[in-house]
């Protein structure tokens, strides 16, 4: 879907965001091309670009001769406009139960600095807040970027969250985190505006930002981490739901004879596809030694790596465990794809790099067979464009997205 602009003064903010979005995705456009691709009048484009030039967000960058580019018609040479990549930055924090990752993202989506370290396993949210603040300061110091161009801090955290109040509410994989007002705590300590969102939603926002062609308009982002979750973009809108907690796929039943879940059902994703459940399967079958001490995310992660290493060495039992996990996750994906009719599934998260060889071999074809739209079109399944840091990059994109992305929903209120 290609968005078109409107020329009323009440939608000035929307139009400016639209122009900036086009410049950012294209890498450089002339005013004529901007008018053509947004549907805005030449005068509106001229006014907007003037404001953006004065704010130092875009710059004039050389000229293109008519005929050089597809969209160009007759006339004098046209000045290309492009983003000033150092004009704005955002900090992204991904609070994963096992790893804390922080990135500094420039306005064009480039990671200019990153830090990561293990998330403190002690159930002491205050200690984690202090660590986040310290790591942000260290990141900014090493990146040598002033505070002034930094738009704000985004935090991606496991759900559920209280989006309105910026509170993390009892996430199953962060022991001791009960109603922690993380957004305000980090804002107070750093002095920056802070936005908080679910990790899976942040990942979906990152994917949308990194999609230079702007073609990823309806997709499900399957997040493979300590827990499994889903970020959703439908008809080019990020789906957050009424309370900011959309995408909880953990209690979709994929194995009716599977283990009992805290929710009272049997064989939910949360107890049959997570790294912890695959590790337990492998231990029960004697594939991994049943000598593991502890059940914390980092210990599980180490055991999961051992399982993947065995599979990579063609260990038949390890392969079976991963395949069974793949079958179950495929069933859950089919539920989501059939419900929302998305065009693609994008997969990422901390487990993706380790699981991708088996996932890619198994899931796309199996999923295709389960979809009611199989005779209409094939739903593509691909790995993330944003790499292992998708959560942190997404957190930074939340800030840029809030400031820079055109939204028809806000247009209705303008
Ligand atoms: Zn359940």
HEC assignment per residue over 330-395: HHHHHHHHHHHCCCEEEEECCCHHHHHHHHHHHHHHHHHHHCCCCCCCCCEEEECCCHHHHHHHHH
Among 83, 102, 128, the domain boundary falls at 83
- Give the domain CATH number at 36: 1.10.10.10
State whether 226 and 311 are in the same domain: yes
Q: Alpha-carbon distance 281 to 321, whole Å?
A: 7
Domain count of the fold of the chain: 3
Structure confidence at residue 266 (pLDDT): 96
For residue 93, what are the domain limits? 89-206+392-405
Are 116 and 78 within one domain?
no
Is 93:395 a contact under the CB 8 Å cutoff? Answer: yes
Position 114 confidence tier, pLDDT thresholds 50, 70, 90: very high
Distance CA 52, CA 59 (A): 8
> What pLDDT is stored for residue 69 in this prediction?
53
Q: How far is the CA of 261 from the centre of ligand 1 (A)?
A: 5
131 occurs within a structural domain: yes
Gap from CA of 272 to ligand 1 centroid (Å): 10
pLDDT, greater one: 381 or 78:
381
If pLDDT is split at 50, 70 and 90, which confidence band does 363 have? very high
Q: Which of 1, 78, 5 has the alpha carbon at shortest distance from 45?
A: 5
Residues 115, 19 share a domain: no
Backbone angles phi, psi at 83, to 5 degrees: -65, 145
- In this structure, is residue 164 part of a structural domain? yes
Same domain, yes or no, for 227 and 342? yes
Residue 154 lies in a domain: yes
Of 74, 84, 133, nearest to 107 by C-alpha is 84
Q: How far is the CA of 103 from the centre of ligand 1 (A)?
A: 33
Helix residue ranges per DSSP H, 117-215:
125-143, 182-190, 199-210
- 259 alpha carbon – ligand 1 mean position (Å): 10
The answer to whether residues 40 and 172 belong to one domain is: no
Dist. CA 254 → ligand 1 center (Å)? 10
Q: Work out the average pLDDT over 1-27.
A: 72
The answer on 201 and 73 residing in a single domain is no
In angstroms, what is the span from residue 253 Cα to ligand 1's centroid? 7
| pLDDT at res. 414 | 34
pLDDT score recorded for residue 410: 47
Is residue 412 one of the residues assigned to a domain?
Answer: no
Ligand 1 center from residue 224 Cα (angstroms): 17
What's the mean pLDDT in 150-179?
88
Give this prediction's pTM: 0.86
Which range among 98-107, 269-278, 292-301, 336-345 shows the weakest confidence by mean pLDDT? 292-301
Q: Separation of 321 CA from ligand 1 center, angstroms?
A: 20
pLDDT of residue 149: 92
- From the CA of 183, how far away is ligand 1's center (Å)? 29
Q: Distance, CA 392 to ligand 1 centroid (Å)?
A: 28
Report CA-CA distances (Å) from 13 to 222, 285, 295, 367.
32, 59, 49, 41
Residue 319, both tokens: 């392969």
User: Would you say residue 2 lies in a domain?
Assistant: no
- Residues 218 and 342 sit within 8 Å (Cβ to Cβ): yes
**pLDDT above 50 (res 1):** no
* Judgement on whether residues 46 and 120 belong to the same structural domain of the protein: no
């Amino acid at each position: 879907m290609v968005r078109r602009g409107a020329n009323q003064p009440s939608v000035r903010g929307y139009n400016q965001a639209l122009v900036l979005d086009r410049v950012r995705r294209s890498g450089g456009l002339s005013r004529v091309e901007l008018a053509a691709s947004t549907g805005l009048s030449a005068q509106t484009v001229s006014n907007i670009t003037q404001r953006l030039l004065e704010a130092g967000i875009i710059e004039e960058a050389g000229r293109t001769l008519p005929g050089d580019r597809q969209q160009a018609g007759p006339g004098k040479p046209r000045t290309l406009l492009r983003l000033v990549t150092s004009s704005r930055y955002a900090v992204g924090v991904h609070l994963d139960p096992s790893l804390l990752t922080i990135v500094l993202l420039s306005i064009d989506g480039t990671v200019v600095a990153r830090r990561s370290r293990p998330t403190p396993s002690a159930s002491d949210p205050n200690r984690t807040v202090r660590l986040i603040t310290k790591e942000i300061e260290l990141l900014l110091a090493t990146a040598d970027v002033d505070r002034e161009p930094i738009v704000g801090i985004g935090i991606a955290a496991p759900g559920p969250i209280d989006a309105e109040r910026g509170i993390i509410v009892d996430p199953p994989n962060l022991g001791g985190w009960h109603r922690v007002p993380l957004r305000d705590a980090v804002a107070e300590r750093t002095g920056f505006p802070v936005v908080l969102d679910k990790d899976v939603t942040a990942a979906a926002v990152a994917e949308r930002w990194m999609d230079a062609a702007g073609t990823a308009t309806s997709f499900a982002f399957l997040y493979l981490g300590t827990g499994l979750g889903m970020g959703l973009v439908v008809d080019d809108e990020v789906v957050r739901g009424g309370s900011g907690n959309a995408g909880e796929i953990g209690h979709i039943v994929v194995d009716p004879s599977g283990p009992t879940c805290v929710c009272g059902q049997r064989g939910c994703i949360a107890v049959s596809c997570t790294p912890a459940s695959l590790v337990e399967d492998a231990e029960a079958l004697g594939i991994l030694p049943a000598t593991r001490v502890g059940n914390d995310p980092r210990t599980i992660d180490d055991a999961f790596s051992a399982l993947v290493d065995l599979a990579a060495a063609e260990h038949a039992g390890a392969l079976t465990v991963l395949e069974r996990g793949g079958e179950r996750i495929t069933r859950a994906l089919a539920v989501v794809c059939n419900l929302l009719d998305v065009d693609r599934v994008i997969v990422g998260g901390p487990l993706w790099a380790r699981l991708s060889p088996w996932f890619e071999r198994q899931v796309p074809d199996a999923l295709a067979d389960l979809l009611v739209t199989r005779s209409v079109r094939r739903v593509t399944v691909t790995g993330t464009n944003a790499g292992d840091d998708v959560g942190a990059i997404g957190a930074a994109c939340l800030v840029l997205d809030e400031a820079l992305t055109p939204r028809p929903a806000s247009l209705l209120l303008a």
